[in-house]
Amino acid sequence: MNVGSGAAQPVGSVDVALAHALDLLNSRPALALEQAREILKNVPGHPIATLVAGMAQRLMGDVTGALATLEPLARSQPTAAAVHYEYGLVLSAAGRGEEAVAALRHAVKLNPALPGACRALADHLTAIGDNAGADAAYARHIKSATRDPRLMRPAAALVENDIPTAEALLRAHLRQYPTDVAALRMLAEVAARLGRYPDAEHLLERCLELAPGFGEARANYATVLNRQNRATEALAQVNQVLAAEPNNPNHRTLKANVLVNIGEYSQAIDLYAGFLAAYPRQARVWLAYGHVLRTAGRQHECVAAYRRSLALAPQTGEAWWSLANLKTVRFTTSDIEAMEAQLARPDTAADDRLHLHFALGKAREDAGQFAPSFEHYVAGNRLRRAQLDYSPEETTKLVARSRRLYTREFLQQRAAAGCAARDPIFIVGLPRAGSTLVDQILSSHSLVEGTMELHDMIALARNLDVAGTREELGHYPKVLESLAPERLRALGEEYLARTRVQRKRGAPFFVDKMPNNFRHVGLILLALPNAKIIDARRHPLACCFSAFKQHWARGQSFTYSLEDLGRYYRDYVELLAHFDAVLPGRVHRVHYEALVEDTAAAVRALLEYCGLPFEEQCLRFYENERAVRTASSEQVRQPIFRDGLDQWRNFEPWLEPLKAALGPVLDAYPHAPPLAAL
């Protein structure tokens, strides 16, 4: 009998007994198992009774018994969707993740509307990094789980990824039925796909307010919080859903990601090791594992994980780039041939292609082949720039607005308004300017704890940008003009509360090395007037070209064009020169070249600015074994060398667009040109 085909069920006493067993499954699985076994005594091999027995065993936690029951049933019932769905769940519980994916794929193929099957498949696909497949499966799950005919059309639009239609239909529906939790969750899915995470967050909060037990909505809520860098809140939510579904691979993957975001690398590594036991042949899982190992400083294991990812999927451009991005790996001739072979394939995805170009740029540069190296860097940057909606004018306008607002008088009038805490030390500037090195030096001091590039100040600024009056919306930092002292103090306190989870040692000071915070120096001065601010600066051609060679995991959208880079660097110099003019000496500048030339003098000046006593270990920063989450993670584990100072000169023949965009900033370095010239 094909239990997934809707064929006629047994009649009489067997039919009654089966119905009774099914009723008992969720509430009293042991009695359901007993009932199923009684049926099997009378009707040996009965497929539905066998399925009920296997389900009961799984619910009781007897995974070995469930496998013994369901494996032969799955072989004998190749077209029974319900059997293969349950078999997939048991394989998952047994840690046989890849087999679980195969079984769930088969179940969904047999019956795409089977309740729960699409969601279970999507959870596994998320765990192995198949985001596109997971999105499609989640959308099918929403459609199959939707019994309200009024939601069928928007559900179908989600399946087809027709986001505008889905959004319009859902908003119209919610105007009539504002408490429909299914529709609220679907609209949150739309918002998340569009990157409108605050909207998704509010929708899911309302959904959970109406239905606190809606587990799938809570899992979505945890994901949305994590994507907004609110890891502590996300962890609380993901722990709730894991308590209900401890073996759910998606929830476990999400927890690993959250743990990485709060610096709990040891726990994250253990979780990834568990995934690999379940998914030993999944390239994306090995890649993610390699990323965490790198951050934790376990380089040999990290390289092995990246290599394992490539052995399974040689087309994975991100794995090739991840090896290149270690800065300490040198590619072999066979590596280069393998990457070029992938580039030559017409079916290589754009994302893999751009990563391959960046990796080959590094490989050719290491070999001294600078012309082909530059061609690869240009090709990779061109592909990435086409994916981004970056406007250099917005940065220039932000600098102009900041200069107008942050006058000497404005800042002096509010000098004591913010939170008086002295804990934070901000390192600002551009990426690839030496900020990780400065961070490592400071973090080697007994009174200072290093964290990572924290997004919290950026998040506070973004929230301010949508909270002002109609005239102020989108015109940050003008909104700060109307904030009362207590509100400024609250902003500083909120920053400290948000970052507390990153502080593991309890040191009195901590470093936030987000370079993009140079855009928010004024906000820092108002919200945290006693915080230290360090500007890590490097020669503009060296800094900008180093950023041009780098593919960033996220953010830094200005780095994918030489012209954009030059303009951004010029805007950065202008804004910091403005603060130098209105508050001389308030921001301490560390020039990378000076740090290399006379490390001891630069370190002493840095510590003196921070009000810290000199400690010898700050000169032996490379002995610090803390986790480092930046592109320079391996370089700062070595003593300072001069080698990197002039590498850009190998590419000088091709840097005229960058020089033109930099304008007077290039000639004036290491000083800033007069503000009037900018």
Q: Which of 26, 56, 97 is nearest to 250 (CA)?
A: 97
| Spatial strand order in the sheet of 532-537 | 448-450, 509-512, 424-429, 532-537, 587-591
Q: Is the pLDDT of residue 633 over 50?
A: no
Q: How confident is the model at residue 656 (pLDDT cuts 50, 70, 90)?
A: very high
Q: Which of 81, 1, 107 is nearest to 46 (CA)?
A: 1
pLDDT digits (tens, 9 = 90+) for 426-456: 999 999 999 999 999 999 999 999 998 999 9
pLDDT digits (tens, 9 = 90+) for 342-373: 999 999 999 999 999 999 999 999 999 999 99
Question: How many angstroms separate the Cα of 261 from the Cα of each of 152, 443, 589?
Answer: 37, 18, 29
Cβ proximity of 157 and 190 under 8 Å:
no
Provide, rounded to the nearest whole percent, the portion of the chain with pLDDT above 70. 93
3-state class (DSSP) for residue 619: helix
Q: Which of 607, 599, 632 is nearest to 452 (CA)?
A: 632
Burial of 490 (0-12, 13-18, 19+ CB in 10 A): middle
Cβ proximity of 429 and 514 under 8 Å:
no
Structure tokens at 455: 């997004």
- Amino acid letter for position 35: Q
What average pLDDT does this structure show over 373-402?
A: 96
Q: Is the pLDDT of residue 105 over 90?
A: yes
Q: How confident is the model at residue 474 (pLDDT cuts 50, 70, 90)?
A: low
Q: Is the pLDDT of residue 291 over 80?
A: yes
Q: How confident is the model at residue 114 (pLDDT cuts 50, 70, 90)?
A: confident
Go through the domains of the chain in sequence order and give each one's CATH number: 1-145 (1.25.40.10), 392-677 (3.40.50.300)
Q: How confident is the model at residue 466 (pLDDT cuts 50, 70, 90)?
A: low
Q: What is the pLDDT of residue 637?
A: 44
Q: Which stretch of 178-187, 560-569, 600-609 has the lowest confidence by average pLDDT?
A: 178-187
Mean pLDDT of the chain: 90
Q: What is the pLDDT of residue 469?
A: 47
What average pLDDT does this structure show over 338-343?
A: 97
Q: How confident is the model at residue 646 (pLDDT cuts 50, 70, 90)?
A: confident
The residues, ordered by sequence, that sit 6+ positions from 165 with a Cβ below 8 Å of its Cβ are 153, 154, 157
Q: Is the pLDDT of residue 222 over 60?
A: yes
Q: What is the pLDDT of residue 137?
A: 83
Q: Which residue has the higher pLDDT, 124 or 472?
A: 124
Q: What is the pLDDT of residue 4?
A: 42
Q: What is the pLDDT of residue 39?
A: 92
Cβ proximity of 414 and 485 under 8 Å:
yes
Distance CA(359)–CA(354), nearest Å, equals 9
Global confidence as pTM: 0.82
Q: Is the pLDDT of residue 148 over 80?
A: no
- Cα separation of the two ends of the chain: 81
Q: What is the pLDDT of residue 273?
A: 92
Q: Is the pLDDT of residue 6 over 60?
A: no
Q: How confident is the model at residue 553 (pLDDT cuts 50, 70, 90)?
A: confident
Cβ proximity of 620 and 312 under 8 Å:
no
